[in-house]
Amino acid sequence: MTLDSTDRRLLQLLQTDAQATAQALGDRLNLSASQTGRRRQRLEEEGIVTGYRAALDPERVGLTVEAFIQITMATHTQKNAADFVRLTHRRSEIVTAWTLTGDADYLLRVFVRDLSALNALVQDVLLPHPAVNRVQSQIVMDRIKLDAPLPVLDV
């Protein structure tokens, strides 16, 4: 799918306010609400817009510790990898998981209520996993830039 400059502007607007009405978006794009709505629907159907969700303040919902955890696997079999990936999906405190190049095999972003909960996750869940060799965690001191909109560049 080819994105024109209006599609790109619409994508930027949706990333900053996904609840904006077609009329409000159209006003910003100099389009009618129906034109804007059709463009939005096309972007969703094409899989460029993959969903909408509310952003929560972690501390206000009782999650005072954010951490990144690097996992180095002891063995690299398909079964161990699949078991570990399933573990990441079962644990709600693991909000994002990536596979990596370099020294670590996985990087996890976690939110927990306190340091005791982080310790339990590391000691009781991650380290005992049969494929895990090493766990290294970094606790976030301050979030200076939140998840920002993706740059929608002209290609």
**66/24 same-domain check:** no
Structural domains counted in the chain:
2
Q: Tell me the mean pLDDT in the region 119-139.
A: 96
**38/63 same-domain check:** no
**63/134 same-domain check:** yes
Q: pTM for the whole thing?
A: 0.87
Banded pLDDT at 155 (limits 50, 70, 90): low
Residue 85 in contact with residue 77, Cβ under 8 Å? no
**15/68 same-domain check:** no
Q: What is the CATH number of the domain that holds 104?
A: 3.30.70.920
pLDDT in tens, 80-124: 999 999 999 999 999 999 999 999 999 999 999 999 999 999 999
**79/11 same-domain check:** no
| The predicted structure's pLDDT at residue 8 | 96
Residue 76 in contact with residue 44, Cβ under 8 Å? no
Banded pLDDT at 75 (limits 50, 70, 90): confident
**84/133 same-domain check:** yes
